[in-house]
Each structure stands twice: as C-alpha cells, then as structure tokens.
Structure 1
C-alpha cells in the first residue's frame, strides 16, 4: 500500500526502468493513475527509488522468453526502453533477437500495444549506410511495426535533460574547452528534443484504445548544428563565446577517445553517439501532435531545455542519469561472500579504526563519499587512476554522484557502482573501472561491545588470469597510503564534524 491509497493492478510494463528514460517515465505513469510493473535484470537497483513501493518489480531479461511470459501477463501496454551497446555485429544481433523475443511473447500474452523509443534516422540515407547504432535502432522499430502487436515507434535525435548522456557530453565539452578543434560532425544539422517532451509523447500512448501501428519523428522546434548547440550552451551557462575549429581528420573512433578524456561519458557510449552525429537527423513530419497535442510553449525550445537541465543540476534534483544503466563491459557479478568464491583467489585489504563520533555521524561521511567530496586519501593517486581508466576507455572519476548527500542501490559513484546499502551500517561499491578482475569496496559504521564507534573497511579483488594477480601485487604497496589513509581521514572527518556540532550545541545553550 502507498501513502496515496491502494496501488492499481499493473497494466503497464516498463522495461529499462533502471535507465535514464525508463526511470523518469515510471513516476509520470504513476502520477497519471496507471498501475505499473517494472522488468529488471537486477531488481535491487530499483529498491531505493522513491516510487518503488508503488510498482510491481519482477526479475527478467528481454532475451530470455521464460522470464518475459510472467512479466507480460495481464499487461495492456508494454514500453520497450532498452538498447544494447557495444561494437561489431554482436550488439546488433542482441538487439534484433531481443526485439523479436519481446514481440512474440507480447503477442502470446495478449498485450495490446508496444511503445518503443528509438533513434531518428535521415530520410535520404540508405539503412545500410547508417551508423551501426542508428541502423540497429531502425531495425528494432521495424521488427515491432511488423509484429502482430500494434506498436508505436518514437524516433528521437539528441535528448536534452539533466543527466542524459547527450547533455553531459555537450555540457562538458563546452565548459572545459574554450577553444575546440572539433570533428566535422559539429556542422551536422540536428533536431534536439527536451526530455520533458519525450516523456509527454511516451505517456500519450499509455491508455489509447485503438490499434494504431506506426512510427513518429519527435523533436523540438529548433534545427541546429552541434556547433550551434555548444554556443547556445555557453550563452545559457554564462560562459564566454567558444572558438570552435572543425577539422576533417577526427574519425568517430578518435572522436570517442577525445570525448572520453574530456567528458564523463566513457568511450563505449561516446562512440555510438558520435557515429550517429555524422548523419543529419531532422524530423520529416510532426504527426505526433495529432495524438499528443503540443499546447502553448510545447515542445520546448532548445535554450529552455538547457535552462531546465542546468537548474535541475544546480538544485541537485537529477532524477536519473545516463550512468544509472549498466555500462558495456562493466562487471555485473554479485559480491563474493565466500573467500573461496568460484574456486579462485580473493585478495582482501582490511582496515578498521576507532572513531570519536556517533555511528550516525560516521555514516553521513560514508554516504557522502565521492563526487565533490573526494575519496579522503591521496587525491593525486585517485586522479591518476581516473585518467588511466579513461585512457583505456573506462568511465574514470568524472561521473560524480546523482545526489550530493544520498545514495541508493544502482547509483553510479565516480568509477564505482552502489551495489548494496544498509542505511546507517554498510555501503558496498562495485568497481566499474577497467580491471583484470572484479573489485569491491565495503565501508561499515559499527559499534563495538562497549558502545564505541568503529569504522571498518574492506577492499576485495577477484583476479582474472595471471594479469589479475600481477595487477594486485603491483598496487599492493600503495594500499597503506590509499586505503589506510582513507580509513584514517574518514574517521577524522566524522570526529571533526561531530565535535563541531557538539561545540555549536554548547554555544547555543
């Protein structure tokens, strides 16, 4: 039961609820009075969302027919908001098979409509010449439209909203590079759309009773080049005018490396974004307005979308981020609780220290770690590790935090992912930097038998092959500085904050 009364029986399924768009669509559907079921490979990632107790969450995978049957049972409208990422043909095969499996299972379950958010494609470019990712999005849309379930396919170009990968790429390129030598794709015309309008269009098909089966181009009112977008961002953000010098020599591969170094968006995501930007993506029609009337001031202009996104970031109200979704190549294995996990090695670095503060004060420091607060030890070492990670295509340290004070399961935290939280007691992070193995970091706020506060810390590493073992022993000499310093500084910070509060309370009395 929610605070607002009985939860309606689910009649809408949302796939990709742990991602950027799906995580924002769910509360919109709930606000409109719909019963919602969420399909997730890792349901625990949705556990701490503010709407989690108002939806039904089921474990499943769109590539696994056995898990889709129960998830689609009793569903009228199914939102398909997931995409594979990667390189080569494998991700296209995954996308294709997942879409076919989903449409077949939806037909068998009696689903009335599938709603899919794909990519906007140029009208004058043969599909075979599209970037692999645009080509795959187009193919998935066609699979749904050709299926036996009536489908609505929405095709969007660049989505602008706080936390979207496209917005983060635009923001960091513009803020960090007052003079830019840029790829030729900065001259490509694009029709961006505000995330609010994307959600409004998606929501419009939640309760239609007809058998509509067609695709729609969706975009904002502005058609502009990427260079125009960067200059508009500089104006809205109050930055000096940016000097942008396009050159023809930066290929999509080189561009993705460059973006990976300058922005928080890792190469694995930057590459499909930049590959797609070589095509002009402009809406050929606006028929969507017949089914979702725009009204005054809608769709939002590009500068209005920017202003809203920046305001959300400044107010720390970013509901979802691109990094909420699992990244390509990131480990997804659960924490190894057995030291002999999988019959292999598990290296451990343990630290514990007494803290002159309450467990609650210590927990506030633990939960606030990362992002602007840093990692409480040897900042240069963490910065170098972040740069090295980005050089090999990893996420680096620039993802930061979704919220400056609160964490929830599934949040990205620099180059970690929050795997488990026991409020006031345990924070467990799983590494998403590029490593020859799997790594976790655990932080505990505890009390001993005499009521004294204790901070306990555990770093774990499960090596992969000989390189993994060599990696551990090569960095082990630095653990006393990095992990030991972290434990000492977290304890000191908690004690200092606790003393400050005690002193303030004494002065007020």
Structure 2
C-alpha cells in the first residue's frame, strides 16, 4: 500500500515509518522541514515531501496516489494548540477525501469518563477524532493512554519524577487508574489498522496488559530501574496547575508540554473495550508494564526495540536514538569528552589504547586511581585487583581492573563498561582515527547514567577530578603513541 505519514519528525511517526517500510509498504512523509528527516536511517527508502497541514494547497501533491493516511501530528506545546490541531484535521480530512484515500488512521487520547470535564489536551484529541471520523473516509481512531517508551513525554515525566524524588508529596491524581501501553504495541496496532475492512470506521480503545495507578507506576518503575522503594504521599491541595509547575521544576520536560499532560492525568485512562483485537486475530497480546519499562531503559538486548533514548547509541544497541527525539528525552546522562590530534599513525595510537590498565596503569594521576580502587573494595567492589589477562592484547568480555571489555574493534575502538560500585552505570570509550599516513586523532568519552539522587550526587563529587584525570589520560596516551617503543608515563 501507499502510505502517507504526517508527524514523521515526531515520536510516533519517526518510529512507525520504518515499520511500514519493513512491512513492504511505500511510504511518503509530509514535513514542513524535510531537512529534519535527512539523517533518518530510513530516509532514502521513503519519499519525503514538503507540505504544511495549515496550507491546503500544499497537501494536494502529498496525497496524490495515497491509499492510507496517518494523522500523527499535534501542536502540544503551543498556547493555541487546540485551534491549530482543529484546522490541521479539517485540512487533512478534506485532502484525503478529495484524493480518494481508502483509510485514515489517527492516534488519539483516551476518552474521559461520562460527566468528567475533559482537559484541553483530551478535548482537542477528541475533537480531531470527530473531524476525521466525519470526513467521509473510513477512519480508525486509536485511543491510547500513557505510552511507555523513551522519548514519550508521558514516560519521560514518569522517569524523571521517579528517579529524582525518593520521597514525593503528590497530587491526588496519582491514585487514578491508568492502562499504560508499550510503544511497540502502539506501533503494532497502528500498522495493523491500515488493513481494517473498508466498512470499519470508528474509535478503538487500546491499552497494555496492566491497569495501575500512577503511584503504582512510579513504584514499579523504581523497582525495574534498580532504585530504592519510592515513598508517595498524596496531598489534596495540589491542583493540576500547581502539579504542572512542580513537574516543570523537577523534570526537564517543558512546561508548555507538561501542563496539558498533567491536566489530563486527573482523568482515569482505562480501555473500556478491546474490539480492535477481533479484527486482528494474529496479533500478539500486549506486553506488561515492567517489560515495557525494561525496553525503554535499554535493559533488553533487542535490535528491534523502538523505545530508544538520549545520545547513547554507542553504549547500548537497544537505546539508539532517533534524530527527531527531543533534547529532554532519554533520562539524565553525564558525558566527559576529550579529543587530541596525535602526530603518530593510528596503529601506534591503538597500541597504547589497547595496553591500558593492569600493570600498565591508566596513564594519569595513579594515586587517584589507586584511592578510587581502595574505596571500591571497601564497599564490596572489585577495585583494581583483577588486572588484565594479557599485557598487550584484549578481547571482548574479559575483565580489566574494575571494567569489562564491552566492545573491541581492533585498531579502532575500545569500550569498557564499569563494574565498580557506583549509583548508576558508567562506560569509558577510547578510539583511534587515521588522519593521513603519519597522524591520527584520539577520542575519549566517559558516560555516566545516574541512578536516583545518589547518582547525581556521585557525579558532582567526582566532577572536580575529571579535568585532571581524563585530560591527563588523553594527553599521556597521545604522548605514548608519539614515542614508539615506550608506554605513557603518568605525571608524578
């Protein structure tokens, strides 16, 4: 089928597009800024056209020959998002009808219980659904609650609140029931909705395997993430307005997005029917909350994981980001990067890199490394006593002092994963790049993913030493490469 995807620069659209391509569909992506899709890994396999849902004339060529059109955009974060989404839906519906599109698929939000006054966010989602269902084109509206996946604004709020607050005084809406759904299940439903019979034109509830309160979601997130149990005290006076500002203070999620999302949490979000499953008999059952969180955190090694975060593609294959993910997604990550030009071939530089650790030392401030090793042993860690198997060569999976060799590309890349006792996860990566026949470039990157407040405090406590330790390490590795037959000498 020939599919049109709007919102391909967004969280869901950017993940649905490669799924459609893998299923054998032809995909055209509509974007006001096509350059934003240039670096997507699937960009060359799809057709990217310039267009704006606020400009009906630009939609005519975009809809030409399209059979299934996905409406996945929204203007959340703009003060006038309701008016913008209303006009976009009207233009989209008119263009789809004029082009003879066979089906519209829309990812909306949950329908508030009867008698509840909907939040502006949910009110807008419902209005867009009504406009598309009234288009005269068969339409499938999928009403999803909180989506669990790195990059999802709702999940990022949950992540940051839970990781940064061991004790929380919370608004009463944390006791409301929610049926969170993993992003991979949302994508499965969106993909399958394109094949619904032409007579089906209606809204469907979708949800995950578990019905939880928001408080239970925070507690279970903490357990999966390896955090200490979280203590949550609901407090009646915290209004949605105050809650939104509280979320904005604690998390990096922008206030303009947090406010409408928090306002929507005052409503329960539970699937009241599962009718869509009857049309999709071969679909696997949705996964549970805990597994969805593991996937979002990159705790599951799976090349097909859609829940990906931050800029840590080098550290975890399951966490490869999309260029369109917002800067505030992915959780906290601290990075120390160093780069030096080396007047020696890359082969000489690699010899020094692969010789790191054990009796060869860590090329800088040996007393600081020794003290850190002693401290690690005092708290039950391995310290520096494991050394290395071979003085000159490493292999994947072996121990190297308090590190483990996670990746090794001979002559190019060494990535070490920390096994010391720290409140978080840490990696150290060193690489050699040729720069002509007689020169090279040394790159060094330390990454720390904190766990809870203790992790943030730990990074702050070691930060003053990084300039000495890591800068000295980079300098001495470069010097060692430039002096064949020797090894780097750390400063006294």
Q: TM-score, normalised by structure 1?
A: 0.62
Q: Distance in 1 between matches of 2:167 and 2:238?
A: 16
Per the alignment, residue 122 of structure 1 pairs with: 112
Per the alignment, residue 75 of structure 1 pairs with: 66
Q: Distance in 2 between matches of 1:257 and 1:496?
A: 48
Following superposition, the deviation at residue 71 of structure 1 comes to 0.7
Following superposition, the deviation at residue 122 of structure 1 comes to 2.0
Following superposition, the deviation at residue 176 of structure 1 comes to 1.1
Q: Within 5 Å, which residues of 2 pair with 1:463-474?
A: none
Following superposition, the deviation at residue 120 of structure 1 comes to 0.7
Unaligned runs of 5+ in 1: 1-9, 328-353, 361-446, 454-489
Per the alignment, residue 295 of structure 2 pairs with: 308
Q: Within 5 Å, which residues of 2 pair with 1:71-220?
A: 71-86=62-77, 90-125=80-115, 129-208=117-196, 210-220=198-208
Q: Distance in 2 between matches of 1:505 and 1:71?
A: 63
Per the alignment, residue 28 of structure 2 pairs with: 37
Contact map agreement 1:356 1:494 (CA 8 A) in 2: no
Q: Distance in 2 between matches of 1:138 and 1:194?
A: 22
Write the deviation string for residues 356-376 of structure 1: whole angstroms up to 9, x where unpaired. Answer: 679x9xxxxxxxxxxxxxxxx
Change in 2 beyond 3 A, CA 1:316/1:168: farther
Contact map agreement 2:151 2:325 (CA 8 A) in 1: no
Per the alignment, residue 319 of structure 2 pairs with: 318
Write the deviation string for residues 203-230 of structure 1: whole angstroms up to 9, x where unpaired. Answer: 0023445232111000012111100100
Change in 2 beyond 3 A, CA 1:137/1:357: farther
Moved more, 147-156 or 318-327: 318-327
Q: Within 5 Å, which residues of 2 pair with 1:244-323?
A: 244-293=232-281, 295=283, 298-310=285-297, 311=299, 315=316, 317-320=318-321
Q: Distance in 1 between matches of 2:8 and 2:324?
A: 13
Cα RMSD after superposing both structures: 3.6
Contact map agreement 1:161 1:195 (CA 8 A) in 2: yes
Q: Distance in 2 between matches of 1:357 and 1:306?
A: 46
Secondary structure, counterpart of 1:115 in structure 2? strand
Following superposition, the deviation at residue 121 of structure 1 comes to 1.6
Q: Distance in 1 between matches of 2:181 and 2:15?
A: 15
Paired residues, number? 354
Runs of at least 4 residues of structure 1 off by over 4 A? 319-323, 354-358, 490-508
Q: Does 1:66 align with 2:57?
A: yes
Following superposition, the deviation at residue 294 of structure 1 comes to 6.3
Following superposition, the deviation at residue 326 of structure 1 comes to 9.6
Moved more, 243-252 or 177-186: 243-252
Following superposition, the deviation at residue 247 of structure 1 comes to 0.9
Per the alignment, residue 476 of structure 1 pairs with: none
Q: Distance in 2 between matches of 1:12 and 1:84?
A: 22
Change in 2 beyond 3 A, CA 1:142/1:300: same
Q: TM-score, normalised by structure 2?
A: 0.64
Following superposition, the deviation at residue 261 of structure 1 comes to 2.2
Secondary structure, counterpart of 1:265 in structure 2? coil
Secondary structure, counterpart of 2:39 in structure 1? coil
Write the deviation string for residues 399-454 of structure 1: whole angstroms up to 9, x where unpaired. Answer: xxxxxxxxxxxxxxxxxxxxxxxxxxxxxxxxxxxxxxxxxxxxxxxx9xxx999x
Contact map agreement 1:165 1:322 (CA 8 A) in 2: no
